[in-house]
């Protein structure tokens, strides 16, 4: 679990650095920095994909939060009210912006509403279906049938 969090932090740091550097450079340099950041991000994501099996936590960035599905690649960030959600297409971007219900899930253990950006997201089925838990503890209780 720590590996996923570390890779997610790396991804965030790389993205912020790429944007910061791009703002200070010429158009040619911006393009090079952006391409390098994308390549590095893809390498981080690719290196983690093989580790995701049913029951594993998956990073927010790889989940379409409208379809509630692990997509196996970076999704489009959708900033709403100071939080970043993720969608796979422009329709999902619109839905996340306009529909509060699309931004929340129900924890299968507690049956409580949970904001998808704050959830412990778990791959539940081999077809990519995910579930949103309030915490890792809730997931473990759910998994163990408590």
92, 145: one domain: yes
Decide if pLDDT at 43 tops 90: no
pTM over 0.85: no
The number of domains in the chain is: 2
C-beta separation of 68 from 129 below 8 A: yes
5, 67: one domain: no
26, 57: one domain: no
The distance from CA 37 to its chain's CA centroid, rounded to whole angstroms, is 17
Instruction: Give me the chain's average pLDDT, please.
Output: 79
Whole-number pLDDT of residue 23: 41
125, 141: one domain: yes
Mean predicted confidence (pLDDT) in 53-67: 97
Neighbour count for residue 118 (Cβ, 10 Å)? 12
119, 68: one domain: yes
d(CA 8, CA 51): 14
Q: 44 is in which domain, residue-wise? A: 1-51
Question: Which of 36, 51, 66 finishes a domain?
Answer: 51
CA nearest neighbour of 49 among 133, 131, 116, 123: 123
């Amino acid at each position: 679990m720590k590996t996923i969090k570390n890779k997610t932090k790396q991804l965030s740091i790389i993205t912020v650095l790429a944007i910061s550097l791009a703002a200070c450079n010429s158009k040619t340099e911006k393009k090079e920095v952006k391409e390098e950041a994308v390549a590095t991000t893809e390498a981080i994501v690719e290196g983690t994909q093989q580790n995701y099996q049913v029951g594993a936590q998956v990073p927010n960035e790889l989940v379409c939060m409208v379809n509630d599905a692990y997509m196996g690649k970076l999704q489009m960030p959708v900033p709403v009210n100071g939080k970043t959600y993720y969608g796979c297409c422009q329709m999902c971007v619109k839905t996340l912006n306009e529909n509060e219900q699309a931004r929340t899930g129900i924890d299968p253990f507690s049956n409580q509403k949970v904001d998808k950006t704050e959830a412990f997201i778990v791959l539940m089925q081999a077809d990519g279906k995910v579930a949103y838990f309030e915490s890792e503890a809730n997931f473990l209780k759910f998994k163990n049938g408590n």
